[in-house]
A and B are shown apart, each in its own frame.
Chain A
């Protein structure tokens, strides 16, 4: 008879974990997940709790027990500074992502056409740009020279081609079955048609992922806006968030566009602003998440 130890069930070549190990892991993972989830719950609760409850709790509510109140949201969305910033962030995100996707996919496609004239030098040009960062001051001078200071295009254009994303889409295009492309070429399809009707439709997954990455990047972009936009009427949401939530500058009824209505507690307003900057990311997150499972990105990088 063999010893008891060798009778332990094996899973994937490893012995079954013992009870202690399982308990320790469960506690560990629970703590990590709680550390991520609880702050969000606190923010949501405070933004939705009625004014009296927030005041009574000293500014912060973990679970609202006196019903739900949308006053804070109504007041930030009634046409003042925050509403404006929300629209600007929406514009930057939508337009920016569209431009970035067009530029990235066309360049990625062109670089994927191996054997065409100038293909290797151009690929090298893109790869080398990954190795260095132009630096803060030189970038600022260029944006200034192009007359983009105080323009939303300064937040959109400079980051619209990420060399990394170009490499990722290119790798995906290179991996497409060559027979299809050759067949279409023989049938007389132009380069644009190949790209538009073969390249793009077959690469929806990777385009979706980099689109979401660009989108989240534009929505979250903070420092470029701080650097290039002095005019506070052009501020995106992240700058409003910094001023009124992180730095705690008080938002009056006038800033909010409320007129003579009572201003809800500052904490509620702050949490509501925080929520409207988090929610769009939360909405697209499941779609990004779905693609991680397929390993689109890691697979492409290896190729």
Chain B
């Protein structure tokens, strides 16, 4: 209201809006708007600058994917190399293919095991009758989410490592210790259990929010129709969760080339590159550590492009199935 008032007051001082001065009046009103709104813009500027500098401006650095980039020459003086850097991708460099394979396998494992886990936990929590008990359990299981990956990996070592809690107990009771940390065969299981430990609890928060909004009368109606608890879960609860599950699957699909970067960097030494290299660690190891900047940038660029394409098409697919998706477009 106040805005509109000021604006009209400002505009009315420009006199009568006849055809000749209309264009001029418009320009004036833009100026007037600027004069009125510049404090708002001033407030926006610091935050926008950071966003532009560290989110948008770096995009330009992707051009080194087309260069034989040398850090001491910089982007300006490095030689152009066309699509040469992309040859690791298109000619199927074994190291690169290994990274792709590990990435996809880990993504698949996580889609099958890690994704449904919080849904199950949320269903159990939601079915609890005591609010106190539910909040107590929530307080405990959200906690690991706020631990850094370094802490999670360190804690896992202390529990599962050669001299860790479990192996100490096994040895003390006359059993053979288990070889888990540093075991190539068990690496994927280890990564998965760490993700489960850290984020399953936290991931329930969204599902619980959705569950609490399902219409109670649907349960009552289905109970009148003779549905037991299982059938209610199947016919009322799960359909109520469908939109959020689809939304999260879409986001997950966009992230499918991004798996456990920090988590793997921390544990790569112990199991070697063959078992642990994923696309992100490939970019880091070859680019920042290995000095192969152009190739690393090329792989990173293709990865980002594919990820963006995946989100956009998954969103479209969701619309085709009549779901909301992430955005309307």
Contact = CB atoms under 8 A, between A and B. Distances in A.
28 contacts: A13-B216, A13-B223, A15-B223, A17-B229, A33-B137, A37-B140, A58-B168, A103-B47, A117-B40, A118-B41, A126-B51, A129-B51, A134-B54, A136-B287, A137-B300, A141-B58, A142-B54, A142-B61, A161-B51, A163-B51, A163-B55, A185-B2, A216-B146, A220-B150, A241-B150, A246-B154, A267-B163, A281-B146
B127 interface: yes
Contacts of A117: 30, 33-34, 36-37, 40-41
Contacts of B301: 135
Contacts of B71: 144
A111 B44 CA distance: 7
A132 B280 contact: no
A33 B140 contact: yes
Contact of B266 (A12, A38, A107, A242): A242
B59 interface: yes
A295 interface: yes
A289 B142 contact: yes
Nearest to A158: B54
Contact of B56 (A21, A102, A129, A227): A129
Interface in A32-74: 32-33, 35-40, 42-43, 46, 57-60, 62
Interface residues of B, number: 101
B237 to A, nearest CB: 9
Interface string B5-23: 0000000000000000000
Contacts of B125: 29
Nearest to A238: B150
Interface of A: 10-15, 17, 21, 25, 28-29, 32-33, 35-40, 42-43, 46, 57-60, 62, 102-104, 106-111, 113, 115-119, 122, 125-126, 129, 131-142, 144, 146, 157-161, 163, 166, 178, 181-182, 185-186, 190-192, 195, 216, 219-223, 226-227, 238, 241-242, 245-247, 267, 270-271, 274, 277-278, 281-282, 285, 288-289, 292-293, 295, 298
A124 B91 CA distance: 39
Interface of B: 1-3, 30, 33-34, 36-37, 39-41, 43-44, 46-48, 50-51, 53-62, 64, 71, 75, 121, 124-125, 127-129, 135, 137-144, 146-151, 153-159, 163-165, 168, 171, 197, 201, 205-206, 209, 216-223, 228-229, 232, 261-262, 265-267, 269, 280, 283-284, 287-288, 293, 296-297, 300-301, 303-304, 307-308, 311
Nearest to B4: A115
Given A15-B229, A289-B142, 4 more contacts: A13-B222, A38-B165, A289-B139, A292-B138
A58 B232 contact: no
B61 A60 contact: no
Nearest to B267: A246
A90 B107 CA distance: 35
A238 B141 contact: no
A141 B300 contact: no
Contacts of A142: 53-54, 57-58, 61
B41 A139 contact: no
Nearest to A181: B2
B57 to A, nearest CB: 6
